[in-house]
Amino acid sequence: MKKIKDYENKKVLVLGLAKSGFSAAKLLHELGALVTVNDGKPFDENPEAQDLLALGVKVITGQHPIELLDEGFSLIVKNPGIPYSQPLVQKALEKQIPIITEVELAYQIAECPIIGITGTNGKTTTTTMIERALNNGLSKGRAHLSGNIGFPASSVAETAKRDDILVMELSSFQLMGLRTFHPKIAVITNIYEAHLDYHGTRAEYVRAKWHLQENMTAEDHLVLNWDQEELRKLSAQTKATVVPFSSKEEVDGAYLAGDTLYFRGEAIMKANQLGVPGKHNIENALAAIATAKIEGIASEAIAQALAQFTGVPHRTQFVDVIQQRRFYNDSKATNILATEMALGGFDHQKLILLAGGLDRGNSFDDLIPSLKGLKAILLFGETKNKLAEAAKKAGIPEIILTENVETAVPLAYDLSAEGDTILLSPANASWDQYPNFEVRGDRFVAAVETLKIQKEMSETE
C-alpha cells in the first residue's frame, strides 16, 4: 500500500465499527493517526472494540455522546449504515468536520487501479462476474473483490499489489462519503427507487449513486445501462468516456442481439450459455463483458468465466437437483422488484415460488403480473396473508401458507413434478423470522440438503 503521511498525529474519529469500521480504525492507527472509535454496541459484547483497545486505540462504546466532538477531530470515518440524520453526525456537519467512509481510505492507500460498481440491483452479481472474467484472462496481477460485497476495501487495498485490480462493490451509503475517490472504470447497473428512508428523496439517492463518477476524466470509462432513460440523460454530465450496455438495442458497447451477447460487433457468447438464468443476469453479464473488454480481456476467457459462474450465495444461486427438481436460492430478493426480476428468468408453468417475510406496510399489487402462470406458491412470515391475496388475483392454482422457509421446502417438493423449479425469492426483508437474508438463505439451502438425504435414503430402503 502507499505509505501516506496525511493522518500522522491527526485526531480521527471512527464512528461505528462492524467490518469496515474495524478495518478503517486499524489502518488509521498504522498510519499514525490518533484514533478514537465510537460504537453503539456495549464493550463486553463488542469483540472488535476489545481488539482495538488492545492495540492502543481509544474506544468509547454503548452510546454516541455529542460532547465527544469537543476533542477537536480533523476527520470522521463514518460507518455507511449510520444515517446523516444521526445527532452526532448532524453536529459534526454543523462543526464542518469532514466525514468520509472507509472506501475513501482504501482509494488513498491503494497502489493499483479500482473498478467501482454500484446500482440498485445486480451489484454483487456484476461485481463477481467482473472479478471472475478478469482473473480468467489477466496476464499479470489479479483482481480482488472488495467493498460492500463483504471484504472491507481498506483491508484489501493494504495487501493488493501494483499490478492488481480492486473490483469494488459500492453502496449509495458508501458513495456519499467520497471526496477524492477516482475509479479507472465505474459501472452503474441500474437505478430504481430505493433506500428513501436513508436518503429522503429519489433525487438524493440518484445523486449518491452518480457521485461515483465525480472525479473521473476522459481517460476513464463509465459503463452505463443504456436501457434506462435516466442514465442516458445523466451520461451527458460526466467527463468520463461512456460505454453503454443494452439488452434491447445495438449500442457502441455491450448488447444482446437475438440470442447472442456482443461487444462492439464481436460475438462473445450465447445468452443461454450463461451460468445464471434471467433477463437481469443478461444485463449483469453485459456490464461485466463491457468492463472486461475495456481491460483487454480475451473474449474466450470472458465467455468461459461467465458460463462457469453459477451465482453468488442468496442471489438466484443454484443450490441442487433432487429427482429432476432444480432448487434456487434468491434470499437477497428483499423487495418486489428483485423478485420480479428473478421470476423473469424461469418458465412459470414449471415454477414453484417460496415467498414472504417482514411486513413493511406495502401491498403486493405490483407483483401480481409477475405471479401469473406460476404452478404454485408457498408463503410464510408476516406478509403471507397479503401475498396470498395477490396470488389469488394472479390466478395461482395452489396457494399454501406455512410456517417458514424450512417447512416450505418439503411442501414445495410434494407439489412438484420432474422438470420443475423451486425458487426462494421472498420479496420481503427477513427480520420477522431471521437475523438477515443470509441466514434465511442458509436455512433454505440446509432444508434442501436435508430433503435430498431423505429422498436418497428412501430410495435405498
DSSP of 117-136: EE-SSSHHHHHHHHHHHHHH
Rounded to the nearest 10 degrees, what angle do helices 123-137 and 279-294 cross at? 40
3-state secondary structure of 259: coil
Same domain, 119 and 249: yes
In a domain, 448, yes or no: yes
Asked if residue 155 has pLDDT above 80, the reply is yes
Are residues 324 and 192 located together in one domain of the fold? no
Judge whether 2 lies within some domain. no
* Residue 225, strand partner residues: 245
The answer to whether residues 345 and 424 belong to one domain is yes
Asked if residue 278 lies in contact with residue 271, where contact means CB atoms within 8 angstroms, the answer is: no
Last residue of a domain, one of 48, 77, 100: 100
pLDDT of residue 287: 98
Q: For the domain that residue 57 is a member of, what is the CATH number?
A: 3.40.50.720
- Whether 5 maps to a domain, the answer reads no
Does residue 46 fall inside a structural domain? yes
To the nearest 10°, the Cα dihedral for 391, 392, 394, 396? 80
pLDDT for res 194:
75
- 3-class state of residue 381 by DSSP: coil
The model scores a pTM over 0.75: yes
CB of 412 within 8 A of CB of 378?
Answer: yes
Residue 304 lies in a domain: yes
Identify the pLDDT of residue 315. 86
Same domain for 118 and 95?
A: no
Q: What is the predicted pLDDT for the residue at 370?
A: 97
Q: Are 205 and 195 in contact (CB under 8 A)?
A: yes
Domain assignment of residue 52, given as a range: 11-100
Within-domain flag for 461: no
Q: Can you name the residues that pair with 84 across neighbouring β-strands?
A: none
Q: Is the pLDDT of residue 238 over 80?
A: yes
* Of 308, 332, 354, the domain-final residue: 308
Handedness of CA 414, 416, 418, 422 (dihedral sign): negative
Contacts of 75 (CB under 8 A, 6+ apart): 7, 10, 11, 12, 13, 97, 98, 99, 100
The three-class DSSP label of residue 26 is helix
Rounded to whole angstroms, the Cα distance separating 93 from 107 reads 23
Average pLDDT score over the chain: 95
**Which of 338, 284, 256, 340 has its CA nearest to residue 125?**
284
CATH assignment of the domain containing 410 = 3.90.190.20
How far is the first Cα of the chain from the last one, in angstroms, to the nearest whole number? 60
The count of domains in the chain is 3
Q: What integer is the mean pLDDT of 82-106?
A: 95
* pLDDT tens figures, 316-356: 888 999 999 999 999 999 999 889 989 988 999 999 999 99
Residue 43: predicted pLDDT: 95
pLDDT at 461: 64
Note whether residue 431 is domain-resident.
Answer: yes
347 and 428 share one domain: yes
How many Å apart are CA 65 and CA 78, to the nearest integer? 15
Indicate whether 328 and 431 sit together in one domain. Answer: yes
Please check whether residues 321 and 421 belong to one and the same domain. yes
Give ∠ CA 242-137-259 in degrees, rounded to 5.
65
164 and 194 in a single domain? The answer is yes
Calculate ∠ Cα 394-397-399, nearest 5°. 85
Boundary (domain end) residue, out of 289, 308, 327: 308
Find out whether 396 and 419 touch, Cβ atoms under 8 Å.
Answer: no
* Separation of alpha carbons 148 and 119, rounded Å: 12
Q: Confirm whether 19 is domain-assigned.
A: yes
- Cell numbers found for residue 293: 473488454
Point out which residues pair with 78 in neighbouring strands. Answer: 15
Model confidence pLDDT, tens digit, residues 163-211: 999 999 999 999 999 999 999 999 999 998 777 778 889 899 999 999 9
Residue 445: is its pLDDT beyond 90?
yes
One domain for residues 87 and 165: no
Phi-psi region of 223 (alpha: psi -120 to 50; beta: other; left: phi over 0): beta
What backbone phi and psi angles, to 5 degrees, belong to 144? -120, 130
Q: Which three cell numbers stand for residue 189?
A: 447497473
What's the CATH code of the domain at 138?
3.40.1190.10
Query: For 261-269, what is the mean pLDDT?
Result: 98
Distance CA 80, CA 62 (A): 18
Residue with cell 433525487: 203
Mean pLDDT, range 94-105, rounded to an integer: 96
Cell of 182: 477516482
Strand pairing category for 99-100 and 114-118: unpaired
Please give the Cα distance from 288 to 306 (Å, whole number).
Answer: 9
pLDDT at 192: 86
Do 252 and 374 fall within a single domain?
A: no
Give the separation between CA 53 and CA 49, rounded to whole angstroms. Answer: 6
Same domain, 283 and 143: yes
- Which of 189, 261, 172, 265 shows the shortest CA–CA distance to 224? 189
Please compute the mean of the pLDDT values over residues 309-322 and round it to a whole number. 89
The per-residue pLDDT for range 52-81, each reduced to its tens digit, is 999 999 999 999 999 999 999 999 999 998
83 with 212, same domain: the answer is: no
Q: How many CB atoms lie within 10 A of CB 321?
A: 12
